[in-house]
């Protein structure tokens, strides 16, 4: 049974249709990424989930029970929404994080323990007495996240939590999101326009376009969904598990019996991208210094002006780009057996 379910949700602002019969299912303990471009309706969807907005029409279910007007008050006791636009009080970091706990009547000792733990998790130890308004944008976003973490919500909603932040801060925030979900079991929905972030943090993903959820799937399958190309034409994006020894290469298992080698040093879950133009295709195996050699069959051919794009199944499907002249000279077609070769340095961590 789904924890939260939106059925045929419509939201209008005057003549503007923000949500168009949107359907979304969130399972307890999930970390769901809602991917879509600006204006797709992601923020409106989160505001309805959080009970801040009422839908114009449609139904909301909680643990299988249909909710009515009582939903807003009910979910606000269980849910926290961290907005894209950072908002901190003109007070110390401690007072910002403690505010929600004080309104809930927690004792002083309990508040202090939760604030310090939240600051530890977001890597802001020692910031208690600093003015929140004088922090950098990234630090303020971490304070906002710590404020949510301290409340220990059942259900956490995050609207573009890393938008316009530097890579280091983005990495910290993504780690906090994973921690909340994996260690605390917090059911989490993240709205993002960053397709790489989906593979980095999510368990499941939904694609949102023009106010509708058009695709949902486990993240391992998400990049293979055909409608994703309507949002972002990304090719050769793979989710995998990386491992390495101190004196050896990084090996990444991307599924389908395919392991690739990368020049960077990473362990654990990673998302990687290989540009089609960085892959060399040949009919025969040739000696090369390139670390990745894969054998497969052409399953799709797309003629695009002066270049031909080929999809090659090697256990996972890779996209390769070659010239029309090369395509003709090698006498290629669907079903042709080929070798794909690329350098470890061409495997990009994203």
Give mean pLDDT, residues 27-56: 93
Give me the phi and psi of 139, to 5 degrees please. Answer: -70, -40
Domain that holds residue 217: 4-233
- Of 184, 204, 233, the one marking the end of a domain is 233
How far is residue 115's CA from residue 107's CA, in Å, rounded to a whole number? 12
Whether residue 35 contacts residue 209, with contact meaning beta carbons closer than 8 Å, is answered with: no
pLDDT at 226 over 70: no
Clarify whether residues 275 and 296 are in a common domain.
Answer: yes
Clarify whether residues 208 and 285 are in a common domain.
Answer: no
Q: Which of 203, 189, 150 is nearest to 48 (CA)?
A: 189
pLDDT at 234: 61
How far is residue 349's CA from residue 33's CA, in Å, rounded to a whole number? 19
Give mean pLDDT, residues 234-240: 78
pLDDT tens, residue by residue, 259-289: 999 998 888 888 788 988 899 999 999 888 8
Clarify whether residues 242 and 226 are in a common domain.
Answer: no
How far is residue 200's CA from residue 68's CA, in Å, rounded to a whole number? 36
Q: How many residues does the chain have?
A: 350
How far is residue 117's CA from residue 113's CA, in Å, rounded to a whole number? 6
Cα 155 to Cα 81, 110, 344, distances in angstroms: 9, 21, 40
Give mean pLDDT, residues 34-46: 90
Distant-in-sequence, close-in-space partners of 136: CB < 8 Å, separation ≥ 6: none
How far is residue 179's CA from residue 186's CA, in Å, rounded to a whole number? 9
Clarify whether residues 114 and 54 are in a common domain.
Answer: yes
Confidence class for position 185, pLDDT limits 50, 70, 90: very high
Helices (H) and strands (E) in the chain, counts: 9, 20
Give mean pLDDT, residues 239-248: 85
pLDDT at 135 over 60: yes
Q: How many domains does the chain have?
A: 2
pLDDT at 350 over 70: no
pLDDT at 1 over 60: no
- Of 233, 264, 297, the one marking the end of a domain is 233
- Of 233, 249, 282, the one marking the end of a domain is 233
Joined together, the tokens standing for residue 158 give 């995050």
Give me the residue label for tokens 């989490």. Answer: 188
Clarify whether residues 217 and 270 are in a common domain.
Answer: no
pLDDT at 231: 58
Clarify whether residues 105 and 145 are in a common domain.
Answer: yes
Give mean pLDDT, residues 295-309: 85
Give me the phi and psi of 347, to 5 degrees please. Answer: -90, 110
Give mean pLDDT, residues 209-232: 78
Rounded percentage of the chain residues whose pLDDT exceeds 70: 96
Clarify whether residues 169 and 270 are in a common domain.
Answer: no
pLDDT at 17 over 80: yes
Q: What is the dihedral of CA 255, 195, 184, 146, to 10 degrees?
A: 150
Clarify whether residues 185 and 244 are in a common domain.
Answer: no
pLDDT at 322 over 60: yes
Q: Which of 102, 120, 122 is nearest to 111 (CA)?
A: 102
pLDDT at 77 over 70: yes
Clarify whether residues 117 and 246 are in a common domain.
Answer: no
Give mean pLDDT, residues 171-185: 93
Least confident window among 76-85, 153-162, 214-223: 214-223
Whether residue 173 contacts residue 97, with contact meaning beta carbons closer than 8 Å, is answered with: no
pLDDT at 29: 95
How far is residue 236's CA from residue 243's CA, in Å, rounded to a whole number? 20
pLDDT at 227: 67
Whether residue 55 contacts residue 48, with contact meaning beta carbons closer than 8 Å, is answered with: yes
CATH assignment of the domain containing 293: 2.40.50.100
pLDDT at 245: 80
pLDDT at 39: 80
pLDDT at 85 over 70: yes
How far is residue 49's CA from residue 89's CA, in Å, rounded to a whole number? 25
Give mean pLDDT, residues 287-300: 91
Clarify whether residues 31 and 167 are in a common domain.
Answer: yes
Rounded percentage of the chain residues whose pLDDT exceeds 90: 68
Clarify whether residues 192 and 267 are in a common domain.
Answer: no
Least confident window among 63-67, 82-86, 291-295: 82-86
pLDDT at 235: 76
Q: What is the dihedral of CA 18, 24, 27, 31, to 10 degrees?
A: -50
pLDDT at 230 over 60: no
Least confident window among 61-75, 210-224, 230-244, 317-331: 230-244
pLDDT at 209 over 70: yes
pLDDT at 122: 95
- Strand-strand pairing, 337-342 and 79-82: unpaired
pLDDT at 199: 80
How far is residue 223's CA from residue 239's CA, in Å, rounded to a whole number? 9
pLDDT at 155: 95
- Strand-strand pairing, 4-13 and 16-26: antiparallel
Whether residue 43 contacts residue 84, with contact meaning beta carbons closer than 8 Å, is answered with: yes
pLDDT tens, residue by residue, 303-312: 776 788 898 9
Give me the residue label for tokens 């007072």. Answer: 95
CATH assignment of the domain containing 99: 3.40.50.300
Least confident window among 144-158, 196-210, 214-228: 214-228
Clarify whether residues 103 and 229 are in a common domain.
Answer: yes
Count CB-CB contacts under 10 A for residue 98.
Answer: 22
How far is residue 295's CA from residue 178's CA, in Å, rounded to a whole number? 36
Mark 18-28 as b/e (b = at least 16 C-beta within 10 Å).
bbbebebbbee
Least confident window among 75-79, 110-114, 301-305: 301-305
């Amino acid at each position: 049974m789904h924890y939260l379910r939106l059925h045929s949700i419509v939201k209008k602002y005057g003549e503007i249709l923000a949500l168009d019969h949107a359907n979304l299912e969130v399972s307890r303990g999930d970390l769901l990424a809602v991917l879509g471009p600006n204006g797709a309706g992601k923020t409106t969807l989160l505001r309805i989930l959080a009970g801040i907005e009422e839908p114009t029409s449609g139904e909301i279910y909680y643990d299988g029970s249909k909710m009515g007007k009582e939903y807003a008050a009910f979910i606000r006791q269980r849910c926290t929404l961290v907005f894209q636009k950072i908002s901190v009080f003109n007070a110390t970091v401690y007072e910002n994080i403690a505010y929600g706990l004080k309104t809930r009547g927690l004792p002083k000792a309990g508040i202090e323990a939760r604030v310090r733990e939240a600051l530890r998790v977001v890597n802001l130890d020692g910031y208690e007495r600093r003015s929140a308004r004088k922090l950098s944008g990234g630090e303020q976003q971490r304070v906002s996240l710590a404020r949510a973490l301290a409340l220990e919500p059942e259900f956490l909603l995050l609207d573009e939590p890393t938008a316009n932040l530097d890579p280091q801060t983005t990495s910290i925030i993504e780690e906090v999101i994973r921690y909340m979900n994996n260690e605390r079991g917090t059911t989490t929905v993240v709205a993002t326009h960053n397709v790489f972030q989906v593979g980095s943090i999510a368990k499941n993903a939904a694609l949102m376009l023009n106010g509708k959820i058009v695709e949902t799937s486990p993240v391992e399958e998400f990049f293979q969904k055909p409608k994703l190309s309507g949002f972002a034409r990304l090719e050769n994006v793979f989710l995998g598990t990386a491992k390495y020894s101190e004196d050896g290469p990084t090996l990444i298992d991307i599924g389908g019996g395919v392991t690739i080698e990368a020049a960077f040093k990473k362990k654990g879950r990673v998302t990687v991208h290989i540009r089609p133009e960085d892959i060399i295709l040949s009919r025969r195996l040739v000696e090369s210094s390139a670390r990745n050699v894969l054998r497969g069959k052409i399953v799709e051919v797309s003629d695009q002006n002066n270049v031909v794009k080929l999809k090659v199944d090697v256990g996972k499907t890779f996209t390769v780009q070659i010239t029309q002249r090369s395509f003709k000279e090698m006498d290629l077609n669907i079903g042709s057996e080929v070798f794909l070769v690329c350098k470890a340095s061409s495997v990009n961590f994203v």
